[in-house]
Amino acid sequence: MKTKEQIINDLTPRKFNKLGVAWTTLLIIVIIAGIIAYIDQLIKGQIVTNMRDYALWGIYISNFVFFVATSFVGTVIVAFLRLTHKEWRTPLVRIAEVISLACIIMAGITIMIDMARPDRLLNLFIHARLQSPITWDVIIIPTYIVLSFLLLYFPLIPDLAILKNYYKKTKPKLSKWYGTFSLNWTGSTAQKAIQSKSIKIIAYLIIPVGFILQTVDAWLFSTTYRIGWSSTNMGAYFISGAFVAGVGALIAVVYIIRKSYKLEDYITDMHFDKMGRLLVLACLIYLYFNINEYLIPAFTASVEEEAHLNLLFFGQYAPLFWFVIIGGLIIPIVVLMFKKGRKPLPMFIIAILVVLGSWWKRYIIVTPTLLHPFLPIQGVPESWHHYFPSIHEWLITGATLAMALLIITLLFRYLPIIPIQRTTDEHKLLRTNKITES
């Protein structure tokens, strides 16, 4: 059993090692490349993308949907597991909260990248119309950003106070910053009562808000007449998809962090086992909605719908479609069913597969539908019949993904990855239990 000092020593933020510096530099380079591409897009217009009048939304939108989906992990892991008192969540919650916050911030930025007139952003408030799903997004995304931030911040306060004391002598400047953000935390009973009550309120609030967020995202598509979008299945389908994407991203990030910060004592195989079970559950639910979305409509498909399904099952998009279904859902389910599959390394590989599958899944949802309007595509250049992202789109999208990773990396440079206070409390609890038992 570790002492409190040991735990604090283990869990305080550490400086980047060489690999960390290289990783951060790489991210910054990718981001700079993306910013240059975006400035070019601002100057020349969206002609630099491969979107045109038919494929009018591309990877900006699918990437936005991916970010929104991944941000759901905050709701799933943190709120659900907290409210159901699952103790094994302790070393994972902060990672989940940080992923959630980074992703929802990037979702907000990504949707603005897709706007051809970002200079008119304020029109969304000045001339807002409540019946447009975009307005719902404008309302719900900032709400979720605030809630995600608070869900990260409130449990962090005691840890910030610990860090303030820890760095008092060695780094007085840093200590001062931690002191400011710890809001004079002393750990008194009154403070603890307020804190736990606040966390509980936020945890309760974020569940409906998280559900609304995912559903609004689905309604962005299902409120149109498009084949493949206008489906009553959409809301539940998106929520379950977000469950998969979020847990997948969490496992991948947890594995990398555990490895690079050597946290094997805190994040054990048991935690991976639990997350693996959660991912199987998520994938099974998502598979169910996928069957509802693709297989059952095939029986009564109208001509247009049949063309759409053919395109996905056997046509141009078939390789991607089957990669997403098999690689992103079926293989994870099969592998994670076995205990050996829920060991850290195989889980990491599966998680990467799931995240990739989730990203391309959104692409499969957005693009093929747009290339199948009701009236035939005629009288436009041949290239408008297809869509594949341009260099600009890849650079900008890459930059948004890098930015999310950079936010996660930087936050963990300065924040304890694993809640220190909670861990010491739990260790103490374990020890007293042992004493009473013996």
Structure tokens at 3: 């002492």
The one-letter amino acid at 82: R
Structure tokens at 277: 């079970």
For another protein, what does the binding mask look like between residues 122 and 151, x meaning CB under 8 A? -xx-xxxx-xxxxx--x-------------
CB 151 within 8 A of CB 79: yes
CB of 417 to another protein, least distance (A): 38
Sign (positive or negative) of CA dihedral 59, 61, 64, 69: negative
315-215-226 Cα angle (round to 5): 40
428 binds another protein (CB under 8 A): no
300 binds another protein (CB under 8 A): no
CB of 370 to another protein, least distance (A): 7
Structure tokens at 184: 């004079």
- Between residues 20 and 373, which has the closer beta carbon with respect to another protein? 373
| One of 114, 217, 273, 393 touching another protein (CB under 8 A) | 114
301 binds another protein (CB under 8 A): no
CB of 294 to another protein, least distance (A): 21
CA distance 280 to 299: 28
- Number of chain residues interacting with another protein (CB under 8 A): 46
- Between residues 375 and 435, which has the closer beta carbon with respect to another protein? 375
Query: What DSSP character marks residue 57?
Result: S
Site for another protein in 315-374 (CB under 8 A): 370, 373-374
Structure tokens at 387: 């869509």
56 binds another protein (CB under 8 A): yes
Site for another protein in 365-394 (CB under 8 A): 370, 373-382, 384
Query: What DSSP character marks residue 326?
Result: I
Q: How many CB atoms lie within 10 A of CB 220?
A: 23
Phi and psi torsions of 227, nearest 5°: -65, 130
- Between residues 22 and 121, which has the closer beta carbon with respect to another protein? 121
9 binds another protein (CB under 8 A): no
5 binds another protein (CB under 8 A): no
- Between residues 129 and 169, which has the closer beta carbon with respect to another protein? 129
Query: How many Å from the N-terminal Cα to the C-terminal Cα in the chain?
Result: 15
54 binds another protein (CB under 8 A): yes
Sign (positive or negative) of CA dihedral 192, 194, 197, 201: negative
Stretch that binds another protein, among 117-125, 176-184, 208-216, 351-359 (CB under 8 A): 117-125
231 binds another protein (CB under 8 A): no
Q: Which residues of 298-329 are buried (b: 16+ CB within 10 A; e: fewer)?
A: eeeeeeeeeebbbbbeeeebeebbebbbebbb
| One of 32, 45, 208, 265 touching another protein (CB under 8 A) | 45
Binding site for another protein (CB under 8 A): 44-47, 49, 51-54, 56-57, 114-117, 120-121, 123-124, 126-129, 131-135, 138, 220, 223-226, 370, 373-382, 384
